[in-house]
Amino acid sequence: MKNDQEILQSIRAAIDDCTRGIDDAPSLQYQIARKAKGEEPVIKKTSGALVLAIILVVMLASVAFAVTNGFGILNYHPEQTENKAYTDNIMSLNQTWEGEYFSATIHEAVFDGMKMSFTMTIIPKEGADPVYVIPRIRATAEGRELSTWTDGFVGGYEGDGFWIPCIEPDLEYDFDHIGVDIMLSDDYRTYAPVSENVEWEITFDILHPEWPIEFTESDEPMIGEPEWTDADYEIYDQQFVDAYRSKRILLNRAAMVEPFASAILDDIEMEDKMTHEDYVEMRLTQEAFSKKEQVFFRFTAEPLTVKHAKNPVSFTLPDGLVVQLQDLTVSVDEIGISLKITSPDSDEPLNLHDFANWHIAIFTDDADTKFLGAQCGPEEDGSGILYTAQWSINGQTDRLLLVPIDDSLREEFFKQQGTLSEEHRNGAICIDLE
């Protein structure tokens, strides 16, 4: 007899051909999703195959809900649906906590060896006061604590704190569908995979506001907006100090507490001895907030295999820049890479502009890859530029292809992501994994 995951895979395989092209029609995706939830009919004229696809999508949505009993990992990371090595290791947790201000259920989790993803639902209690929640993620392996970083989230969860219910002006978060990615990392850029089982603990500290809440009329300018003077910033910061002195909680337009917390007078030397979460909580709970409850979710996860480069790798770009592989981690769903760029033929130190004409794409013949993001900055010792990037991968492979892309071809190249021309393949750098 097939298990729930196999049933889900069978249905997805059956509708795959019928739904080709839907990914390129966001408006149609939206209508089909609403049809599946019974919110409104799909009014576009559709072919018989697409009508069948819609019916099957509705069936699929129902089965997915039954399998996960809520918002599941494959709802959060649908790009991994066909990745059996990933889907076979999704853990069904369904741990529920009931409190004074809200209830919370953590549905599913998956640990790829260097990143843990989980999904959950939060339901505010009717008529309850808003509370500020400070999340903490703790990971331990064989008694040692591991460094973690919140790599991504949806549904109103913020890695440094969030309000339940949402009180941000003109915005409402979807607490029914929360997804979070936590990577093992010391510096938010490079992964630190483990081979041991990891004990995960997700904690929510619930802070209740004791003073009335107000919002700033305006916030600091965003990039591209008219710049402020030093006097403008002083006036902006002073309003939070004045609010604290008059026993008012003042939040910016994004309902963030950090500007207000920064205005609270305390021992500034303590900041270096505490985590960010501890420091913010210590400041807030002096008078303005009181700590009411604490939520704990705990589970153990066995990591999947993470591969690395088998041999040292370096190559030279056409303009003479030398690229050296510093670190490479490849799990079943994500690639993390760090490259050091130097200019051995120049006596001048490199700056970011020197590498601005290049992008490094990552491909494999065994699975699809997709660019997630990259960071670039000078090495602290001035010896070169450090380039780090993250790519998703939907399966296992023993070889990667690094493809240097000239900036003038970047837009066209990434439009056709997933296919390699013969010219690009000939210029690719092969990295064998182990």
- Give 10-residue mean pLDDT values along the chain (434 residues): 44 41 34 36 34 38 44 94 93 96 97 95 95 95 92 89 91 90 85 94 96 90 76 89 94 90 68 72 89 95 94 89 93 93 78 76 87 83 84 91 77 60 78 96
Q: For residue 409, what pLDDT is reported? A: 63
In a domain, 306, yes or no: no
Contact between 70 and 119 under an 8 Å Cβ cutoff? The reply is: yes
In a domain, 339, yes or no: yes
What does the buried/exposed string (b/e) look like for 6-19 if buried means 16 or more CB atoms within 10 Å of the residue's CB? Answer: eebbebbeebeebb
The residue segments making up the domain with residue 52 are 4-68
111 shares its domain with 203: yes
102 shares its domain with 62: no
236 shares its domain with 190: no
| Overall domain count for the chain | 4
- In terms of DSSP bridges, do strands 144-146 and 131-141 run parallel, antiparallel, or are they unpaired? antiparallel
134 shares its domain with 228: no
Q: For residue 51, what pLDDT is reported? A: 36
Rg over alpha carbons for the chain, rounded to the nearest Å, is 25
Q: Residue 98 belongs to a domain with what CATH number?
A: 2.60.40
Contact between 399 and 426 under an 8 Å Cβ cutoff? The reply is: no
38 shares its domain with 103: no
Dihedral pair phi/psi, residue 402, rounded to 5°: -90, 130
In a domain, 286, yes or no: no
In a domain, 416, yes or no: yes
- What DSSP string describes 189-249? SS----SS-EEEEEEEEEEEE-S-EEE-SS-PPPTTSPPPPHHHHHHHHHHHHHHHHTT-E
371 shares its domain with 387: yes
Residues in a beta bridge with 418: none
150 shares its domain with 297: yes
195 shares its domain with 101: yes
169 shares its domain with 152: yes
In a domain, 73, yes or no: no
297 shares its domain with 169: yes
In a domain, 254, yes or no: yes
Any long-range contacts for 417-421 (C-beta under 8 Å, 24+ apart)?
417/361, 417/369, 417/370, 417/371, 418/368, 418/369, 418/370, 420/363
> Which of residues 43, 68, 93 is at a domain's end?
68
**pTM score:** 0.76
321 shares its domain with 390: yes
In a domain, 422, yes or no: yes
In a domain, 256, yes or no: yes
Q: Give the amino acid at 59.
A: M
d(CA 239, CA 256): 15
Q: For residue 247, what pLDDT is reported? A: 95
156 shares its domain with 297: yes
Question: How far from the centroid of its chain's Cα atoms is residue 428's Cα?
Answer: 29
